[in-house]
C-alpha cells in the first residue's frame, strides 16, 4: 500500500509532463525528397535531399550538449546502426559516395540528431536502386604496418583563434570519408575529432523523449572494448565535432568559450569503432 502510494505521484507526473513539453516544443521531423522511393540512381555519388520541420540544421554547435530544435543529420545506408552511418551532415542537401556499394537495391535512412548526436526525430527511410555507370568496389586491404597518429599543430598549450586548422600526421592508415559506414577494410578508416571544454561539454544534454528506434542496435559489434566504443553504442558523443578524412581539418570554435579547450583526435574504422592499437592524440589549446 505504501509502495503504491509512493509510486503514484511519479506516474502522474510523467503523464502531465509529456503534453506540456509537446505544446511548447513542436516535434522535429525529417522526410527524404531524394532519392525518391523506388527511383534509380545512375551517378556514382548518391545525391540526397531532405526536408525538415521544427528543426534548424546547422553544425556551428556540433559536439555541444543537445538543445531542442537544433542539430544535424545522420544518414545510414542499409541499416540504422552506427556501423552503417555515412557521416554527419550540416545541410539538407548532401551526397553519399557509392564506393564499395554493390549495384542493386539499397535503403537510405536519415534521422535528425542533436548537437550531441542523440536522435532528435523519427527516422525516415527510402529504398532506391543503385545503378552507376561503373561501380567502385571496396578497396583491397592496405595494411602496411602499425598505424600511427600525431597532432602537428596546434601545439600543446598553444594560443589559437576561434577558427584554426588542426593538422595531423597519419602513417600506415588510409583516410577515406567515402568508406564511412561501409564494411571495414584493414588499413582504412577516418578520424573522429572531439572538443571538450569546461562550462560547455560538462553541461547536461537535452534529448527528446519520444519512442524511436535505437541507433546502436544489436548489430553493433562488441569487439571494441575501449570506453569510447561503449559511449558510441549509447549515442553519447558529446564533444564530437566531426568525422573528417583529411590531415588538415578546419576547426571552428566560434560558438565555444574562450579559454582552455582539449582537442582529441582518434582513428576510427569504417564502422566508426575505434581502430584498435592506436592511441588517440590530444592537445590542450588556449582559445582566444
Ligand atoms: Cu566515424
Summarize pLDDT for 51-88 with one digit per residue, the tens: 999 999 999 999 999 999 999 999 999 999 999 999 99
Q: How far is the CA of 37 from the centre of ligand 1 (A)?
A: 27
Pair 96, 46: CB distance under 8 Å? yes
- Classify domain 26-130 at the CATH class level: mainly beta
Q: How far is the CA of 164 from the centre of ligand 1 (A)?
A: 22
The domain 148-287 is placed in CATH, from the list 3.40.50.300, 2.60.40.10, 2.60.120.200, 3.30.70.600, at: 2.60.40.10
Rounded-to-integer distance, Cα 195 and Cα 51, Å: 29
Q: Report the 10 Å Cβ neighbour count for 47.
A: 12
Q: Does residue 79 have a cis bond before it (omega within 30 degrees)? A: no
Q: How far is the CA of 102 from the centre of ligand 1 (A)?
A: 21
The whole-model pTM stands at 0.84
Q: How far is the CA of 182 from the centre of ligand 1 (A)?
A: 11
Q: How far is the CA of 87 from the centre of ligand 1 (A)?
A: 7
pLDDT in tens, 173-199: 999 999 999 999 999 999 999 999 999
Q: How far is the CA of 78 from the centre of ligand 1 (A)?
A: 16
Q: How far is the CA of 9 from the centre of ligand 1 (A)?
A: 42
- Where do you find CATH 2.60.40.10 in the chain? 26-130, 148-287
Rounded-to-integer distance, Cα 138 and Cα 267, Å: 19
Amino acid at each position: 500500500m505504501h509502495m503504491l502510494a509512493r509510486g503514484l505521484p511519479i506516474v502522474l507526473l510523467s503523464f502531465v509532463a509529456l503534453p506540456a513539453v509537446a505544446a511548447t516544443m513542436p516535434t522535429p521531423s525529417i522526410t527524404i525528397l531524394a532519392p525518391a522511393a523506388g527511383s534509380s540512381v545512375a551517378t556514382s555519388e548518391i545525391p540526397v535531399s531532405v526536408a525538415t520541420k521544427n528543426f534548424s540544421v546547422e553544425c556551428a554547435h556540433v559536439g555541444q550538449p543537445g538543445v531542442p530544435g537544433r542539430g544535424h543529420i545522420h544518414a545510414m545506408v542499409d541499416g540504422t546502426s552506427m556501423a552503417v552511418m555515412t557521416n554527419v551532415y550540416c545541410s539538407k542537401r548532401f551526397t553519399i559516395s557509392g564506393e564499395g556499394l554493390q549495384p542493386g537495391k539499397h535503403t537510405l535512412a536519415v534521422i535528425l540528431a542533436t548537437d550531441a548526436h542523440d536522435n532528435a526525430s523519427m527516422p525516415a527511410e527510402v529504398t532506391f536502386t543503385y545503378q552507376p555507370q561503373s561501380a567502385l568496389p571496396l578497396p583491397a586491404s592496405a595494411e602496411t604496418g602499425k598505424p600511427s597518429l600525431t597532432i602537428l599543430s596546434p601545439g600543446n598549450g598553444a594560443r589559437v583563434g576561434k577558427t584554426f586548422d588542426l593538422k595531423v600526421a597519419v602513417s600506415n592508415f588510409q583516410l577515406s570519408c567515402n568508406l564511412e559506414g561501409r564494411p571495414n577494410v584493414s588499413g582504412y578508416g577516418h578520424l573522429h575529432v572531439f572538443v571538450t571544454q569546461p562550462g560547455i561539454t560538462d553541461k547536461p544534454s537535452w534529448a527528446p523523449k519520444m519512442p524511436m528506434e535505437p541507433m546502436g542496435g544489436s548489430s553493433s559489434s562488441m569487439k571494441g572494448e575501449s570506453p569510447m566504443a561503449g559511449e558510441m553504442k549509447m549515442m553519447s558523443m558529446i564533444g564530437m565535432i566531426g568525422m573528417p578524412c583529411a590531415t588538415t581539418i578546419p576547426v571552428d570554435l566560434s560558438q565555444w568559450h574562450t579559454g582552455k579547450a582539449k582537442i582529441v583526435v582518434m582513428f576510427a574504422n569504417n564502422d566508426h569503432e575505434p581502430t584498435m592499437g592506436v592511441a588517440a592524440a590530444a592537445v590542450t589549446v588556449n582559445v582566444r
